[in-house]
A and B are shown apart, each in its own frame.
Chain A
Amino acid sequence: MTPEEWTAVRLSLLVATTATLASLPFGVAIAWLLARRRFWGKSLLDTLVHLPLILPPVVTGYLLLISFGKRGPIGAFLDEQFGIVFSFRWTGAALACAVMGFPLLVRAIRLSIEAVDTRLESAAGTLGAHPLWVFATITLPLCLPGVIAGAILCFAKSMGEFGATITFVSNIPGETQTLPSLIYTLTQIPGGDAGAMRLTLVSIAISMVALLGSELLARRIGVRQMAA
């Protein structure tokens, strides 16, 4: 593989890992809200979370560009107050991936939280546990397989994200040129087929390792919980 290809692989892994880990706490919180609470605007929140799943990725990328770009309202605020810049940086690629992976993350976690018996939670409450402790010691351990499944889905989505990323942060080698972006670039230039094929194989390998890893992890947790 060429240095350029290695850079793209490393960058993709960094972007996908950052996107997954950074969105995980928010994903768990929103999944819990949707699974366990009734509040005004719940269906609106549900729709917003799922929107990136049904919108064309280019539209999501464009919305990110006009809101999180240097002159966008959120982007300008974050730049001035905290010095955080998303546009045309790898962090922007991570943001795009997080937004695109978020519906998958929330969906998996929500389903697993809904499967946790609320009667166990109220039993923990009668034993003196504050609701936050109930969540940490009962709900979270019991829905962990779902959290892992959601995180892997989000990671896989981030590895393959193309449309929103290229629209939001472009295709800058070494900064925002992720694996799919480079494959796309290589298919556009004469003689790039070999490189595109190499990267495709790398892409398949990473996806399979991630999937197998999650399967093993979920099974180990499942076995521990069901252990006789």
Chain B
Amino acid sequence: MSLEVDVDHARETFHLVARFSAAPGLTAKTTLVDIVGGLIRPDHGRIAIDGQVLVDTARGVFVPKHRRRIGYVFQDSRLFPHLSVRSNLLYGRWFAGDGGAAANLTSVVDLLGIGRLLERRPDSLSGGEKQRVAIGRALLAHPRLLLMDEPLASLDEARRAEILPYIERLRDEAGVPILYVSHSVAEVARLATTVVILTEGQVTAVGPVADILSQTDAGEGGSVLEATVARHDAAFQLSVLATAAGELQVPRLSAPVGAAVRAYIRGRDVMLSLRPPEEISALNVLAGRVVAITPDANGAQADVRLDCNGASLTARLTAKSVQRLALAPGRPVYAVIKSVSFERS
């Protein structure tokens, strides 16, 4: 699966120029997703999936949306109000033609946990339920790529927490690559494998999620650590995560032991020490080595990137601290992270 995008699209208020070629799991903005989905015809550009050209304005190619086999989960779910949940789910199956094993109602219904909603009408569903049905509907149309345009943006915090695990399962189990648009760094850190950063209509960064999110200009200068749940500490309501950099103690997770999770650590939550800290309240101390120091625009703060046994971790410090500790590339340091600074997303 590969996706090539090269578009140049001017509208009254903005001008989108996007050229990237990437594996699935990236984020972009709504217009870009609409162009990929076939809802908007770009002024200039080329879009190809797995080598098949969907749009090429130079050669006058434009495959209409109903022949692209690209599923689209909209921010506002867009369920058909005159059809039951079951008919909504099966709508795309009429047209999927070759069918295939992936388009199986029972397995999709199980995956999304919507079995008891089948005979209901869309009006009677909660926002989170609507979004899960919309995901199932797109999935049952047997797409080769799934577009998700901020599928959680219209939901409150509790509903987001309800849906995120389903999207994670979808990513891991459904076998359909997902192009996911989001403004939420936490969502991206949790879901994405490859990230494309769009700033004012321009692609500013493309790459694996851990690399991109640790760059200063891509959001908050945080880091993503791949981890598995090693054990739970019931007495203190903590979970212990095993990462390449070492063990992390975080507030109790609902994920079972052995589950793969991601820890997103903001740069401002990381403290550095030249000696192993003793008698300190913070539970997490990771040994590492300074790789690079990137001062911010006005020189007051700097992002210090560490290599902790192969994992990348970023700490945001004041310029004064950098000087006081005489930090420089190659210097061994200890990163201190308070357990309470982890938030569940």
Contacts and interface: CB of A to CB of B under 8 A. Distances in A.
B34 to A, nearest CB: 9
Contacts, number: 74
Interface of B: 37-39, 64-72, 74, 76, 78, 80-82, 91-92, 94-97, 121, 123-124, 137-138, 141
Given A124-B91, A129-B66, A119 B138 contact: no
A228 interface: yes
Contacts of A226: 81, 123
Contacts of A123: 72, 74, 78, 80
Interface stretch (A29-37, A91-99, A130-138, A160-168): A130-138
A65 B71 CA distance: 55
A142 interface: yes
B80 A126 contact: no
B74 A124 contact: no
B71 A129 contact: no
Among A119, A123, A130, A131, find the residue whose CB has the most chain B CB atoms closer than 10 A.
Answer: A123
A124 B82 CA distance: 13
Q: Which of A117, A125, A224, A228 has the most CB of B within 10 A?
A: A125
B124 A126 contact: no
Interface in A179-228: 224-228
A127 interface: yes
15 contacts: A119-B78, A122-B39, A125-B38, A125-B39, A126-B68, A126-B71, A126-B138, A127-B71, A128-B95, A128-B97, A129-B91, A131-B66, A138-B80, A142-B81, A142-B82
Interface of A: 117, 119-120, 122-131, 133-134, 137-138, 141-142, 224-228
B97 to A, nearest CB: 8
Contacts of A138: 80
Given A122-B39, A228-B121, A228-B124, A128 B82 contact: no
A227 B38 CA distance: 32
Which 5 pairs of residues, A with B, have the shortest CB-CB distance?
Answer: A128-B95, A127-B92, A126-B72, A123-B78, A125-B65
B35 to A, nearest CB: 13
A129 B70 contact: no
B123 A126 contact: no
A130 B68 CA distance: 11
A123 B92 CA distance: 10
B117 to A, nearest CB: 13
Given A127-B95, A128-B69, A226-B123, 15 more contacts: A123-B78, A123-B80, A124-B80, A124-B91, A125-B64, A126-B70, A127-B138, A127-B141, A128-B94, A128-B96, A129-B92, A134-B66, A138-B80, A224-B82, A228-B121
B82 A141 contact: yes
Nearest to A134: B66
Contacts of A137: 91
Given A119-B74, A226-B123, A128 B141 contact: yes
B126 to A, nearest CB: 13
A225 B82 contact: yes
A66 B134 CA distance: 57
Contacts of B91: 124, 127, 129, 137
A44 B96 CA distance: 40
A227 B66 contact: no
Contacts of B68: 126
